[in-house]
Copies of this chain bind each other. A is one copy, B any other.
Amino acid sequence: MINKLINKIEQLKAPIVVGLDPMLSYIPDHITKKAYAEFGENLKGVAEAIWQYNKDIIDATYDLIPAVKPQIAMYEQFGIEGMIAFQKTVDYCKEKDLVVIGDIKRGDIGSTSTAYAVGHLGGVKIGDKTFAGFNEDFVTVNPYLGSDGIHPFLDVCKEEKKGMFILVKTSNPSSGEFQDQLVDGRPLYELVGRKVAEWGEAHMGDSYSYIGAVVGATYPEMGKVLRRIMPKSYILVPGYGAQGGKASDLAPYFNKDGLGAIINSSRGIIAAYKQPQYQQFGETNFADASRQAVIDMKEDLYQSIFANK
């Protein structure tokens, strides 16, 4: 799957992943009204609204982008109905040949970790048939529990030809509280990065590993060091745009081959119509605003990162 992701990034010249993190406040009135009219002003109605909203954005952007990253929390908050919207979104994106990165940040141990891995990347055997629970292509994983939590994911990734991004240095202001603590004089996130590199080397696609890392756009100096520590790992970079990460800060996340990183934007794309520069689209044409925001993000990244290389 890492080979497919890289091929699509090269072909589209777009190291971009669109974060499908729908908030109720983003969804245009005409969509929620229609969904509520059909299913009621309840969890089922909201889930329908989220799904229709996602579908319109996917339809308007799928030919420009290699991948999407649905944030499962935004669906899980609406219980079972929300999870159904998550599943529909994943399935629809795969129909559109998009690479789906499930932003699930799961992490547990042993058989529990295996359960998460098969539930999101593999399948469970029932009788003589195999059934998939959710079926993303990549997932994000939390490393706090150590190798015992990671190995089950490595095994499933290898078997299913899928992949994962392990949290190394997250984009939020307080990420340093534990991640930056010095261990033998070097920050903890570097130690995690070295483990990711080690796991990655043992799990290689054609040119990059299918075991990647999450490193926030908001910490470019740390990104530079981590790029060097994990040369063969793809870096998934959240924090561009809304969280304050600038395109000009993103160069260090890429390797000299112009590859090695994929930049996430969520709100900046899916709620583009709410921003001053896309106001002319209006709420009704929110998906066209999202398309324009993808085009602009692609250009922004190109100018800042690749134009001078």
Q: A: which residues have CB within 8 A of B?
A: 21, 23-24, 36, 41-43, 45-46, 71, 73-74, 76-80, 82-84, 87, 105-113, 115-116, 118-120, 124, 126-127, 129, 131-134, 142-149, 167, 170-179, 181-184, 188, 191-192, 195
- Are B73 and A129 closer than 8 Å at their CB atoms? no
Q: Give how many copies assemble into the complex.
A: 2
* Nearest neighbor of A119 in chain B, beta-carbon distance: B77
A101 nearest CB across to chain B (Å): 14
* Nearest neighbor of A140 in chain B, beta-carbon distance: B108
Chain B residue contacts of A176, Cβ below 8 A: 146
A116 and B77 in contact, given A105-B107, A175-B146 (Cβ under 8 angstroms):
yes
A218 nearest CB across to chain B (Å): 11
Q: How far is the CA of A156 from the CA of B205 in the complex (A)?
A: 43
Chain B residue contacts of A42, Cβ below 8 A: 126, 129, 131
Chain A to chain B contacts (Cβ below 8 Å), 16 pairs: A41-B127, A46-B126, A73-B106, A74-B115, A76-B120, A78-B124, A80-B83, A83-B83, A105-B107, A109-B175, A144-B178, A145-B172, A145-B175, A146-B174, A146-B177, A148-B173
